[in-house]
Structure 1
Amino acid sequence: MNSDYAATELAEPNLRALLGTAGLDVEYVRGEGNTLFRLGADGQEIPVLDFAGGYGSLLFGHSHPEIIARARQLLDEGTPVHAQFSSHPYANRLAAELNRIVHRETGTTEPYYATFANSGAEAIEAAVKHAELDRVLRLGELLERIAAGAERAREAVADGSAVVPDSLFTRLRTEPPAAGQDRTEAVLAAVAAHNAEPGSRPPLFLALEGGFHGKLMGSVQLTHNPGYREPFDALGVRTRFVPEGRADLLKEIAAEEGATLLEPVVEDGEIRLAEHRAPVFCAFLLEPIQGEGGIRPLTQEGARAVDEFRAATGCPVVVDEVQSGMGRTGALLASAALGLRGDYYVLAKSLGGGIAKASVMLVHESCYRPQFELVHSSTFAKDSFSCHIALKVLELLEADGGSAYRRAAERGEALKAMLDRVRLAFPTVAAEVRGRGLMLGFEFRDQSDSPDQVLGEAARTGMIGYVLAGHLLHAHRIRTFPTASAPHTLRFEPSLLLTDEEIGRLETALTDVCALVRDRASDRLVTSS
């Protein structure tokens, strides 16, 4: 290897430098359970308690022995990764097992068809593409129906079995043609003019304020944080962001953005107009618990508002369970506890057991379009290795009557109780503890006006959470991060292996951090070791 090149930082050097300002640019050499190991100056391993948990990817911890054993077996057997465009029975078994659990948790019985991918953002994009294909096909089917209706109207007027009443022109807000001109063609032209605008509109997406759905070209336009989204506005889809629970605003959007298509029909010897709801809304995306938005759970009220909007507009709902799903809140789907039913579900992160890059988009039978399978593909998706690892993850979740779900819920309650104790002990520092199960957030009060120059500047530049995380790492050997769009909120997403001793270690460390902020004692910050 050329040492000159190796000495130059070429792999995202700006990010590396940014991490370095908070002391977070450390290299980890091994992971086990809830522990990552880095090397000290003497070459010895230094254990670090990992509460970041791969941003929710490690429900079973680092290097879970049963998952690793299954991976070794698959690799030793030479299981194919690249066998595209062939039969994948293991992928079908995985889809069937996911269906079984989703049906149990939601009470539904209709199938969900699976499209596999490599990451959460990629699976979100698959859901968005599928929803748009479905919208376009529904629109095309409706326009074909309208065209057939127009032809029937022509024939009925031509054979004398129907007439064109003046009321049609009033409804279409156009003047009747002069005597001797073709009234039928005048009406049909007005109908076509009315239908042209909604029939040619680009798709409209809705998403919740604070939501995060990825940073790819399409998914970033569905992510609320303007810092991620706005540089790429010219590339993106049209999205309207709405506050959670605002049923009144959703009704306004339905009225403002909704449109009808008109179909000529023959009834009682007259040409009349039937109204059809134009499919202008492509999808409504939401997270049951917003991860990067600050670990903010969706409320029952918010879920009801989304359901009402779906019923009023026909807009399908994409439930993004990338972080919250796979047992982290005590169920495969965090949305199940809200009674929210997705037309699409997206699962990722812990689906891969901490080692496979795996995700899946599930689409309900009522929305499913078989054509999608021919216009969308991914080289590494649906491979034998990742599917078998995901099957092992589901086996571990479902074992012993679902004891893993119960443990995740119980460990989450114990962790939340500790975070609440710290919050109550520091009311001027800690604002709120949020989340469910093993997906929790600890929000600090805004320190932008702190007389401590270091803390104040860190807060004003959005670095406060990273600075505090650096102190936790180097002073207490605990690893976590803030959430991307809520830098005052530290995230805690450990595995279900979490012990009382580890919770106690975090309590000691978090108490120290809160005291440091309360006392405006940035001189005590430790961001290197």
Structure 2
Amino acid sequence: MTPTDSAAARPETTEPELAEPHLRAVLDTAGLAVEYVRAQDNTLFWLDEDGTEIAVTDFAGGYGSVLLGHNRPEIVERARELLASGTPVHAQFSSHPYANRLAAELNRIVGRELDTDEPYFAIFGNSGAEAVEAAIKHAEMDRGMRLAALREELARHTASVRAAVAAGEAKVTSRALAGAGLDATAPGGDFETLAAELERHNAELFARPPLFLSLEGGFHGKLAASVQLTHNEGYRAPFKALAAQARFVPRERPEALKEIWAEERGTLRDVRVFEGRVEVTEREFPAFCAFLVEPIQGEGGIHVLSEEFAAEIQRFCASIGCPVIVDEIQSGMGRTGALLASAQIGLRGDYYTLAKTLGGGIAKTSVMLVRQAWYREEFEIVHSSTFAKDSFSCHIALKVLELLEADGGAAYRRAAERGDALRRTLESVAADFPGVVKEVRGRGLMLGVEFHDQSGSASPALREAAAGGLFGYVLAGHLLHRHAIRTFPTASALNTLRFEPSLLLSDAEIARLDGGLRDVCAIMRDAAGERLAAGRAG
């Protein structure tokens, strides 16, 4: 389509703004409310007032969804083939061999990266947040089933001891009463009093709602349950009453794990007979449903989990029987040079969530993988999704994996090499503007640049942007209109700009970014905020 055709296809309308008008107004304020009419490789195109296409280098990359590039020809061709052949999108509750092939291929790659042959079962969905919801639902179902089995076991023990006492084969001792928190000298110190107290104590623990662990700065989606595991309080607070709650663990503070455990743990009381005496013993209560971890926090500011802290999380969760859900929605699918960024830091998940690039930038799809040791087949009956496991998205995802794995994993190597080249440029800018750039973080093609707080700037424009929570968006608007560069701040760390381009990123595009970042750094260094507005389209 030519620029003229594109303009003709978009007649002016006087329709009221009904599709998220407030967000549109915010984007207008930052200079980001442009309509993109075409996308190719690492470039988006929008039209100026004359209908001329303006090419923009895309460093936002669909929030990490287009690692292989916009409208990758091989993926587009596969999509055309599928649609032309009439592939069934809606054939629910039937055989889906293509979904099984996709699950098998994911297992092959995951097994290689984790050096394991233990299978992971796949539950497909439509979005990353849906994959997270499926994971936490499955984890709670598993916890509920373990609790039910534990409760039945305790009841059997109580019945067995009751029978032994009735038969005169066991006696209730003062030690047993004390173990249940009862006064051993009080009247009525019989077994039924003891059993009633044990039941009361245990019932309080069994009635506890599920509690999750998540890292400070973590982002796991904005659906009813997943938003409560997202650290940003602004996203959580309005919906706090709707779903399970989380304890947030400070990043890189392994000692906090034991502190939180000490605060939240609980012990059930069991009763058994030993050498003719009734004894009360303690059983650990599974206080936590799961621990959600991003190997690289995307919306939290592109923070990479250290290998040391990853190992501590792994050890801690194994010691208390808490599964680890590794959220690879933004970091996975080759963006860091491997299918799983977590594998690069030695973190093995009991669950994985994958999305974004899994759909090749075209299909809306996601998957939740569950390690065999934790899998509950009953989940397949109580969880479903209309568009999940359909032929179109599964075949597109298979093409994505084929492209990633081709030529001995050349795409992974390319992502790592292009990421290294981009990082060198970002670090060069940081070195030249130490008073402006606080830190460069990330891995592969998932990088971030954090700027120092500008709330004390001598520039009123910069102070206002910082105070209003629009700082990163204003910088992004300037980069768009002055330098034809598209990026955004991370959602929960607005002083950090994200850079998640496709692996087609060229040296010329990196050079363009270098110039754009040096410009915004000079504006901040010189407190010349008035120059930001000059870069926007009128």
TM-score of the two chains, using structure 2 as the length reference: 0.95
CA distance in 1, matches of 2:106, 2:273: 48
Residue 125 of structure 2 corresponds to 117
Tell me by how many angstroms 1:66 deviates: 0.5
Question: In structure 1, how many angstroms separate the alpha carbons of the residues matched to 2:114 and 2:196?
Answer: 47
Mapped partners of 1:527, 1:432: distance in 2: 27
Distance, in Å, in 2 between the alignment partners of 1:276 and 1:30 is 61
3-state SS of 2:367 partner: strand
Equivalent pair of 1:51/1:492 in contact (CA under 8 Å): yes
Matches within 5 A, 1:317-328: 317-328=324-335
Q: How does 1:487-526 map to 2 (within 5 A)?
A: 487-525=494-532, 526=535
One-letter identity of the residue aligned with 1:291: G
Alignment of 1:47-446 (within 5 A): 47-176=55-184, 183-446=190-453
Q: Is the 8 A contact 2:471 2:495 kept in 1?
A: yes
Which amino acid is 2:529 matched to? S
Deviation at 1:405, TM superposition (A): 0.6
Counterpart residue number, 2:480: 473
- Measure, in 1, the Cα distance between the counterparts of 2:369 and 2:415: 24
Instruction: Give, in whole Å, the separation in 2 of the partners of 1:168 and 1:135.
Output: 29
One-letter amino acid matched to 2:91: A
State the partner residue of 2:3: none
CA contact (8 A) 2:414 2:503 kept: yes
Are the equivalent residues in 2 in contact too, given 1:246–1:305 (CA < 8 A)? no
Q: Write the letter of the residue equivalent to 2:220.
A: H
SS in 1 for 2:83: helix
CA distance in 2 between counterparts of 1:491 and 1:518 reads 20
Q: Is the 8 A contact 1:202 1:280 kept in 2?
A: no
Matched residue of 1:326: which SS? coil
Deviation per CA, 1:418-445, whole angstroms, max 9, x where unpaired? 0000111111111110000000001111
Contact 1:81 1:383 in 2 (8 A): yes
Offset at residue 176 of structure 1 (A):
4.2
Distance (Å, rounded) in 2 between the aligned partners of 1:268 and 1:5: 87
CA distance in 2 between partners of 1:285 and 1:67 (Å):
32
What's 2:34 paired with? 26
* Kept after mapping to 1: 8 A contact 2:462/2:527: yes
**1:27, 1:38 within 8 Å by CA — same for their partners in 2?**
yes
Distance 1:271 1:316 in 2: 34
- CA shift digits 1:450-484 (9 cap, x unpaired): 11100111011111111111111111111001111
What do residues 8-49 of structure 1 show as CA deviations (whole Å, max 9, x unaligned)? 111000000100011100000110000011112221211111
Deviation string, structure 1 residues 321-380 (Cα, Å, up to 9, x no partner) = 000000000011101111111111100100000000011111111211111111111111
Q: Offset of 1:267 from its aligned partner?
A: 2.7
Report if aligned partners of 1:254, 1:312 keep a CA contact under 8 Å in 2.
no
Matches of 1:143 and 1:177 in 2, distance apart? 29
- Distance (Å, rounded) in 2 between the aligned partners of 1:515 and 1:430: 11
SS state at 1:319 partner: strand
- Give the letter for the 1:328 counterpart: R
Amino acid aligned to 1:103: G
5+ residue gaps in structure 1?
none
Where 2:326 maps in the other structure, the secondary structure is: strand
Secondary structure of the corresponding residue to residue 366 of structure 1 = helix
Structure 1 118/160 Cα, relative in aligned 2: closer, same or farther at 3 Å? same
**Alignment length (residue pairs):** 526
Cα shift at 1:182: 7.3
> Counterpart of 1:147 in structure 2: which amino acid?
A
Aligned mates of 2:283, 2:98 — CA distance in 1: 42
Shift of 1:61: 0.6
Q: CA deviation at 1:271?
A: 2.4
Aligned-CA RMSD value: 1.5
User: Aligned-pair distance for 1:94?
Assistant: 0.8
**CA distance in 1: counterparts of 2:389 and 2:283, whole angstroms:** 39
Q: SS state of the match for residue 45, structure 2?
A: strand
CA drift at 1:162: 2.5
Q: How many angstroms apart in 2 are the aligned matches of 1:410 and 1:16? A: 37
Alignment correspondent of 2:23: 15
Distance 2:360 2:490 in 1: 22
Q: Which residue of 1 aligns with 2:52?
A: 44
Q: Deviations over 1:386-413 (max 9, x none)?
A: 1111111111111111111111001000
Separation (CA, whole Å) in 1 of partners of 2:288 and 2:102: 31
Moved more, 447-456 or 162-171: 162-171
**Secondary structure in 2 aligned to 1:7?**
coil
SS in 1 for 2:332: coil
Contact kept in structure 2, 1:324 and 1:439, CA below 8 Å: yes
1:263: how far off?
2.1
Shift in alpha-carbon separation, 1:183–1:5, aligned structure 2, 3 A: farther
Instruction: Say which is worse superposed, 326-335 or 189-198, in terms of deviation.
Output: 189-198
The letter of the residue matching 1:456 is R
SS of 1:224's equivalent in the other structure is coil
Give, in whole Å, the separation in 2 of the partners of 1:376 and 1:18. 37
**8 Å CA contact 2:180, 2:269 repeated in 1:** no
Which residue identity lines up with residue 489 of structure 2 in the other structure? Answer: P
- Mapped to 2, the partners of 1:397 and 1:294 lie a distance apart of 26
Q: Is the CA contact 2:180–2:280 (under 8 Å) kept in the aligned structure 1?
A: no
**DSSP-derived class of the 2:368 partner:** strand
Determine the structure 1 residue equivalent to 2:537: 528
In 1, the alpha carbon distance for the partners of 2:525 and 2:64 equals 30
Once structures 1 and 2 are overlaid, which stretch shifts more, 154-163 or 230-239? 154-163
The answer to whether the 8 A contact 2:179-2:281 is kept is: no
Determine the C-alpha separation between the residues in 1 that align with 2:277 and 2:12: 84
Alpha-carbon spacing, 1:164–1:407, altered in 2? closer, same or farther (3 Å): same
Unaligned 5+ residue runs, structure 2? 1-10
The CA distance in 2 between the partners of 1:207 and 1:293, in whole Å, is 12
1:163 deviates by 2.5
Contact 2:175 2:184 in 1 (8 A): no
Q: Does 1:35 align with 2:43?
A: yes
User: Does the 8 Å CA contact 2:211/2:247 hold for their aligned counterparts?
Assistant: yes
User: Aligned-pair distance for 1:198?
Assistant: 1.1
Cα distance between partner residues in 2 of 1:271 and 1:400:
67
The Cα of 1:254 is off from its aligned counterpart by 1.1
| AA partner of residue 69 (structure 1) | E
